[in-house]
Amino acid sequence: MDKYQALIVLIKNSLLLSDKSKINLLKKVPDLTFKEVNELGSVLAYEYEFIEKNQKAIEKNLTQLIQR
Amino acid sequence: MMVQKEEGQNEAWEAGKGTSVDPRLEAKMSVSKKLASAATVREVINSLKQTSKNPHLKKILKLQASNFALSLLAGLEVLPGVTKISTLPKVVITAIEIASKGGKKGYFADLYKDVPKPLKALPVAPELYQSVVNQFKTYKEALNFGKDAINKFVHPQANIQAARLLFTPQRREKIYG
B45-60 pLDDT, tens digit each: 454 444 434 444 444 4
Closest chain B residue to the Cα of A27, Cα to Cα: B31
Question: How far, in Å, CA of B143 to CA of A54, rounded?
Answer: 15
Amino acid at B5: K
Residue B168's pLDDT band (boundaries 50, 70, 90)? confident
Q: Which chain B positions have a beta carbon within 8 Å of A38's beta carbon?
A: 167
Cβ neighbourhood burial of A33 (10 Å; 0-12, 13-18, 19+): exposed
Q: How far is A64 from chain B (nearest CA, A)?
A: 10
> 3-class DSSP state for residue B24?
helix
Residue B35's pLDDT band (boundaries 50, 70, 90)? very low
Whole-number pLDDT of residue A19: 66
With an 8 Å Cβ cutoff, are B104 and A36 in contact?
no
With an 8 Å Cβ cutoff, are A59 and B42 in contact?
no
Residue B91's pLDDT band (boundaries 50, 70, 90)? very low
What's chain B's length in residues?
177
∠ CA A38-A36-A29, rounded to 5°: 100
Range among B19-28, B104-113, B160-169 with highest mean pLDDT value? B160-169
Question: DSSP letter at B167?
Answer: T
Question: DSSP letter at A40?
Answer: H
Question: How far, in Å, CA of A37 to CA of B84, rounded?
Answer: 24
Question: How far, in Å, CA of B149 to CA of B107, rounded?
Answer: 23
Whole-number pLDDT of residue B115: 40
Q: What is the mean pLDDT of residues B125-135?
A: 39
Pseudo-torsion of CA B20, B25, B31, B33, nearest 10°?
Answer: -30
The more confidently predicted of residues B167 and B120 is B167
Whole-number pLDDT of residue B56: 42
Whole-number pLDDT of residue B169: 64
Whole-number pLDDT of residue B70: 45
Question: How far, in Å, CA of B172 to CA of B177, rounded?
Answer: 7
Nearest to B167 among A32, A36, A41 (CB): A41
Residue B87's pLDDT band (boundaries 50, 70, 90)? very low
Find the largest Cα–Cα distance for chain A. 47
Nearest to B69 among A6, A18, A50 (CB): A50
Give the number of C-alpha atoms closer than 13 A to the C-alpha of residue B164, restricted to the C-beta side. 20
Kindly report, residue by residue over B105-120, the tens digit of the pLDDT.
343 344 344 443 433 4
Q: How far is B125 from chain A (nearest CA, A)?
A: 19
* ipTM over cut 0.95: no
With an 8 Å Cβ cutoff, are B163 and A68 in contact?
no
Q: Percent of chain B having pLDDT more than 70?
A: 7
With an 8 Å Cβ cutoff, are B39 and A13 in contact?
no
Q: Which chain A positions have a beta carbon within 8 Å of B107's beta carbon?
A: 68
Nearest to B31 among A3, A5, A32 (CB): A32
Range among A1-10, A55-64, B87-96, B151-160 with highest mean pLDDT value? A1-10
pTM for the structure as a whole: 0.37
Kindly report, residue by residue over A3-57, the tens digit of the pLDDT.
888 988 888 877 656 666 677 778 888 888 888 788 778 777 876 666 666 656 6
Question: How far, in Å, CA of B147 to CA of B44, rounded?
Answer: 24
